[in-house]
Amino acid sequence: MKLIAHRGASGTHPENTMAAFKAAWKAGVTAFEFDVQRAKDGTLVVVHDDTLERTGGDPRAVRDLTAAQLKALDAGSWFDATFRGERIPTLEEVAVAAPASCELQLEIKQADPVYEGIERDVLAFLDARPALKARTAVSSFHHDTLLSLRRLDAKVRIGLLPGKLPIDPSFALAAELSAESMHVNLERLTPEWSARAKAAGLKLYVYTIVKPEQAARAAALGADGVFSNFPDITVPS
C-alpha cells in the first residue's frame, strides 16, 4: 500500500516545512502531500491554515501577507523549540527540492473569500515544469476549484477530496473531473467507497493515518494508499 507523507513527516516535524519534507524524503517515501495557498504578492506558499495563528503565532491571514512577510515568521517553534527558525516554504522551494522519484500530492486550500484564479496560478507553475507536472496530482476540498482546473487543463492529474459530500454525488463528480484518485477520511471509509472506487478505476487514498492499526483498517477496507504523518509507520504491503 502506498504511503503518502502528510504535510511531510508532520508527526515528528512542524508540518509543511522543509524540515518535515526532508525527513519524509529521507525516510524514503514515494509520495508526499502539502497544502498550497497564495500570498498577498501572488507567490504560492505551502501552509495549511488560512491564518498564521496556529503555526506562526500571528493571527493575520496568509492572503494578507507578502511572501517576504510570511518568511519572517517562525514556522517551527510552535511544534518544538528545536525547530525555531523553520520558515513557510514557497511552492517553488518545495518542488525544486523534492526528489525526482517522488510524487507530489498538491492540495489547493481555498479560503473565504476564495483565492480567485489560484487554479491558473498552479497550472502556470506546473506548465513551466513539465517533468514536475507529470508527477504531481492536484486535489482540493473546494470542488469548484477542481472543476475550473479541469476546464483549464484536460490532462492535469486530479484527486478529489469529497470532504462531507455524500458518496453520491462524489463518484459522479470524480467522473466529471476525470479524477485519478479519491481521498477519503478514514472515519467515512466503508466497503462501498472502496467498491465504487475500484469500479470507477479510481485510486482510493485514505487520511489521516497516525497508527499502524489505522493503516491496517484502511487496507482491510480496500484502500490503495494512506496519507500518514509518520513516514516510518508500518503499512500493509
Contact 10, 32 (CB under 8 A): no
Binding mask 131-170 for ligand G3P (x = CB under 6 A): --------x---------------------x---------
Cβ closest to ligand G3P, residue 11 vs residue 72: 11
- Decide: is 121 part of the binding site for ligand G3P (CB under 6 A): no
Chain-centre distance for alpha carbon 17: 13
Query: Out of 103, 107, 153, 224, which residue is the one contacting ligand G3P (CB under 6 A)?
Result: 107
Query: Out of 133, 150, 157, 183, which residue is the one contacting ligand G3P (CB under 6 A)?
Result: 183
- Decide: is 33 part of the binding site for ligand G3P (CB under 6 A): yes
Residue 211 carries which side chain, given as an amino acid letter?
K
Which residue in the shown chain puts its C-beta closest to Ca ion? 107
Contact 17, 87 (CB under 8 A): yes
- Decide: is 107 part of the binding site for Ca ion (CB under 5 A): yes
Query: Out of 171, 193, 207, 230, which residue is the one contacting ligand G3P (CB under 6 A)?
Result: 207
Question: Annotated catalytic, 143?
Answer: no
Whole-number minimum distance, CB 35 to ligand G3P, in Å?
A: 6
Question: Annotated catalytic, 142?
Answer: no
Residues 6+ apart with CB under 8 A from 194: 204, 221, 222, 223
Residue 141 carries which side chain, given as an amino acid letter?
F
Contact 33, 45 (CB under 8 A): no
Query: Cα-flanking dihedrals φ and ψ of residue 206, to 5°?
Result: -120, 135
Query: Out of 35, 86, 153, 224, which residue is the one contacting Ca ion (CB under 5 A)?
Result: 35
User: Look-up: residue for cell 507536472?
Assistant: 133
